[in-house]
Amino acid sequence: MSFTRIARRDLPELEAVLWELRHDATGARLVWLDRAEENKTFCIGFPTRPWDDTGVFHILEHSVLCGSTHYPVREPFVELMKSSLNTFLNAMTYPDKTIYPVSSRDERDLHNLMRVYLDAVFHPLLLENPAIFAQEGWHYELDGDRVTCKGVVFNEMKGVFSAPDALLEYEADRRLFPDTCYRWVSGGDPAHIPELSWEGFAAAHRQWYNAGNALIFLDGALDLDAALAILDEALPAGSAG
């Protein structure tokens, strides 16, 4: 077996058993909430602790879902929204982690979602296509005789920074947590996003998005062996943290 069972815990309040496993080759951690839940969930997450206000992990979250080695379509997320039986499909950047959760009541559909998301996080086209970084992060555009910055995350965070309560929250975090990752704007400060280079962006993916850093979560009444086989095939050998 490619995974070793580390711990088992009964959770009577949830009518569930929590299993903890470790992938032997990479050290990736997995927890499974084993319960009679028809809506099955898969999530993979990575610790992503920022060291500046460039929003590198927010841009990565957007960019890994812009095509991958085995699914080289421009917007796999959009294609899944149109064709999958998913009940939930998203990605989120937090101040200290990034997660990629999906849910479906159909187990075959969940397996397909797992394969797409696993290929996206470990083998994204962003590593060989700087245009993805320019599109999702930032780039220069000519607006008449003026040079302006544009980009999906850049524009999104300009909107966020137009809200006074967001500015107050960010300033409070800076003052309360001056020596931690929480002092930085994980989503990116528009004044600093253009300081991020494609080289630094790609290096952040290589450093943080490796299997040894991954925490994988499964929930519901599912075939664990089938899920583990998909994970064993997808987790890159030699990428232990």
For 6-38, what is each residue's pLDDT tens digit? Answer: 999 999 999 999 999 999 999 999 999 999 999
Please tell me the total count of domains within the chain: 1
pLDDT tops 60 at residue 241: no
Q: What is the pLDDT of residue 237?
A: 72
pLDDT tops 80 at residue 71: yes
Q: What is the pLDDT of residues 86-109, one digit of tens each?
A: 999 999 999 999 999 999 999 999
Report if residue 181 sits inside a domain.
yes
| Residues annotated catalytic, as ranges | 61, 136
Report if residue 240 sits inside a domain.
no
pLDDT tops 90 at residue 209: yes
Report if residue 241 sits inside a domain.
no
Q: How confident is the model at residue 199 (pLDDT cuts 50, 70, 90)?
A: very high
CATH (domain of 119):
3.30.830.10
Report if residue 92 sits inside a domain.
yes
Q: What is the pLDDT of residue 143?
A: 84
Instruction: Name, in order, each residue with C-beta under 8 angstroms of 107's C-beta and a sequence gap of 6 or more.
Output: 40, 222, 223, 226
In angstroms, rounded to a whole number, what is the distance separating the alpha carbons of residues 229 and 168?
47
Beta strands in 29-91 (DSSP E): 29-35, 40-47, 86-89
For the chain, the first-to-last Cα distance in angstroms comes to: 21
Identify the burial level of 165 via C-beta atoms within 10 angstroms of its C-beta, where 0-12 means exposed, 13-18 middle and 19 or more buried.
Answer: exposed
Report if residue 134 sits inside a domain.
yes
Report if residue 62 sits inside a domain.
yes
Q: What is the pLDDT of residue 74?
A: 86
What would you measure as the largest C-alpha separation in the chain, in angstroms? 66
Report if residue 87 sits inside a domain.
yes
The pTM is what?
0.94
Region 170-195 average pLDDT: 97
List the domain range (segments joined by +) for residue 154: 3-234
Instruction: Name, in order, each residue with C-beta under 8 angstroms of 43's C-beta and a sequence gap of 6 or more.
Output: 99, 100, 101, 102, 216, 217
CA 111 to chain centre: 18
